[in-house]
Chains A and B, each alone.
Chain A
């Protein structure tokens, strides 16, 4: 089955700086890569996704990049704000099933 690894496990950034989270996946058939944000006491919420026919996607301060050859994808958050503090999960899907990474706890220091 699909194995998704995510790094780093924790990330502390100064407000206004950028944050980058990286993930690798094992199944070359995977073609959908969503990113979820989970705040304390809540369920994960989709913040951005990318499909295998696209190398990069941007939505305001958030961007994702995908390298299918190397089987890795990344989340970039620019101009971080205190409300960006949360746990972020990457995931990959080849068919009907999502496989999640272990998560990155992001703390934005004021």
Chain B
């Protein structure tokens, strides 16, 4: 079974520029998550989708971050404009069900450096 795919793996941008990350979840997984993992910390949930609807985006800085999941499959996360504090690894995960008790499968992440 193919895992969660993410691209790009690395990205370096200057502050105030924009950037987009892409995620392809495991086939058949209804729920997709985007996490931000700052160096030395655990993953923090940014947004959760069930199919193509948003379940939770309470931690998403909506003035600069946006995310969409078209047709309930692939998802993109965008940052515009980027700030220095956005430097982190952005992890995408998916799960079969919607409960927090369902195993989440993580992709390798995109390491973003904002200079």
Contact = CB atoms under 8 A, between A and B. Distances in A.
Contacts, number: 57
Interface residues of A, number: 26
Interface string A52-80: 00000000000000000000000000000
A89 B43 contact: yes
Given A43-B106, A103-B42, A97 B56 contact: yes
Q: How large is the interface on B (under 10, 10 to 19, 20 to 34, 35 or more residues)?
A: 20 to 34
Interface stretch (B13-21, B61-69, B70-78, B95-103): B95-103
Contact of A98 (B4, B98, B100, B109): B100
B55 interface: yes
Contacts of B42: 4, 6, 89, 91, 100-103
A13 interface: no
Contacts of A97: 45, 48, 56, 100
A20 interface: no
B26 interface: no
B100 A95 contact: yes
B48 A51 contact: no
A32 B44 contact: no
Contact of B43 (A41, A42, A44): A44
Given A43-B91, A100-B43, A103-B42, A34 B103 contact: yes
B88 interface: no
Contacts of B41: 102-103
Interface string A87-110: 001010111111011110000000
Contacts of B99: 95-96
Interface in B6-57: 40-45, 48, 55-56
Interface of B: 4, 40-45, 48, 55-56, 91, 93, 98-101, 103-109
Interface of A: 4, 6, 31-32, 34, 36, 41-46, 49, 51, 89, 91, 93-98, 100-103
